Amino acid sequence: MKLLLAGVVSLIATATCAAEITPEARRSGYDFAAAATRAMQDDDTANPGMLWVLQGETLWGTKAGAAEQSCADCHGDARSSMKGVAARYPAFDLALARPLDLEQRINQCRTAHQRAEALVWESADLSALTAFVAHQSRGLPIAARSDPELGPAIDLGRSLFQRREGQLNLSCSQCHDDNWGKRLAGNVIPQGHPTGFPLYRLEWQSLGSLQRRLRNCMNGVRAEPFEYGAPKAVALELFLMERARGMPIETPAVRP
Amino acid sequence: MARVLLNVPPRAKRGEIVEIKTLIAHPMETGYRLDNAGGSIPRDIISLFVCTYNGEEIFRAELFPAIAANPFLAFFTTATESGEIVFTWTNDHGQTQTETRPITVE
């Protein structure tokens, strides 16, 4: 009887383990990184992501496109005008009737207002501008809007997060909800909170977006990755931001 | 011009040991990688870094293809007198980039 009871208790324990991470138990990828990596992120003169932030600051004041306008001509000083903006993205765009992430919003602004060509995903310029804008929110809590329009996209993101896929038949949730803190090969599995994007990944030797990171993970489970900017990718980003609500932005973070 | 992040303490006491940190944006392309079309990507690395303090060389590093992109170098020196600390990076093609930072020794 005792044995049976123990079995039931362990079964319940497994079942609870598979649930979503409670707000108190949430931890940024920073906490799982090695001390040397954390030190790199903490020191702005050792954090290579700051090179992109610097470049982004230059681009912010550079005129572009047929409208001969720079970001600063409309938005002024990013330190005040962009403060907290990244913490609210992806956000719903009424004209396009779908959520846009920060990279898409920058490109939207470029094509619609600057009448310039959209920047290519993962290009140095787009990464730099995104990093510069997101850097203005460093330390602020993630506060994705609670617009009712975002509901369906968050639900889609949640279902994508929980759905098994790829040849390895794994869902995001199986690693990042159920097995965080354990090791996958030599690496600690983090909880997968998008607190520091765009971030400098030592493996990439460059700055990269959340979408690039998601594509990495999808390749890892041998699934077909989303195209850059695909609505499903944005929905997943949105769900992850919702999941990390209240955690502070770290951009530009440094991760292994 | 490549982007550079330098950390030199603006003030130091005479005889104090100070840490200097340097970070430069550079791909450090090894020459061993192939592009998407299968052609080789030519080697392009920073091969030499020199730091001088009031004209006297205090640190020198030769860099090789195994060094990661955006090389970060940190080193220590003794603050002797006020003046300029000059940093020079030289790439494979002999092109150089020079940055200067003042230091005040009290």
Question: What domains appear along chain A, each with residue ranges and CATH number?
Answer: 26-42+145-255 (1.10.760.10), 49-135 (1.10.760.10)
Instruction: Report pLDDT for A8.
Output: 44
Handedness of CA A112, A90, A248, A190 (dihedral sign): negative
Query: What pLDDT score was predicted for residue A146?
Result: 72
Domain segments of chain B as ranges: 4-33+41-105
What is each CA distance from A253 to A31, A184, A209, in whole angstroms? 12, 21, 11
- Rounded to the nearest angstrom, the minimum Cα separation between A43 and chain B is 10
A17 — pLDDT class (breaks 50, 70, 90): very low
Residue A102: band (very low, low, confident or very high) from pLDDT cuts 50, 70, 90: very high
Per-residue confidence band for A90, with pLDDT thresholds at 50, 70 and 90: very high
Q: What is the pLDDT of residue A229?
A: 94
Q: Which residues pair with B102 in a beta bridge?
A: B84
Residue A67: CA count within 13 A, CB half-sphere: 15
- How high is the ipTM of this complex? 0.89
Residue A141 in tokens: 């809590």
Confidence bin at B1 (pLDDT 50/70/90): low
Residues of B within 8 A of A202 (CB-CB) are 68
Mean pLDDT, chain A, whole residue set: 91
Contact criterion met (CB below 8 Å) for A196 and A249: yes
Tell me: pLDDT of B100 over 50: yes
pLDDT digits (tens, 9 = 90+) for A113-169: 999 999 999 999 999 999 999 999 999 999 977 788 899 999 999 999 999 999 999
Distance CA B47, CA A153 (A): 49
Chain segment A43-70, per-residue pLDDT in tens:
999 999 999 999 999 999 999 999 999 9
**What pLDDT, in 10s, does the model give residues A203-237?**
999 999 999 999 999 999 999 999 999 999 999 99
In the CATH hierarchy, which top-level class contains the domain B4-33+41-105?
mainly beta
Distance CA A210, CA A250 (A): 13
Please answer yes or no on whether B21 and A43 come within 8 Å at the CB atom: yes
User: What percentage of chain A carries pLDDT values higher than 70?
Assistant: 93
The answer to whether the Cβ–Cβ distance between B7 and A43 falls below 8 Å is: yes
Q: What is the pLDDT of residues B10-69, one digit of tens each?
A: 999 999 999 999 999 999 999 999 999 999 999 999 999 999 999 999 999 999 999 999
Q: What is the pLDDT of residue A1?
A: 46
Residues of B with CB under 8 A from a CB of A: 3, 5-7, 21, 23, 25, 28, 68-70, 72, 74
Q: From the candidates B24, B70, B99, B101, which should be mutated to test the interface with A, based on the most A CB atoms within 10 A? A: B70
To the query of whether residue A109 is one of the catalytic residues in this protein, the response is: no
CB contact under 8 A, B7 and A51: no
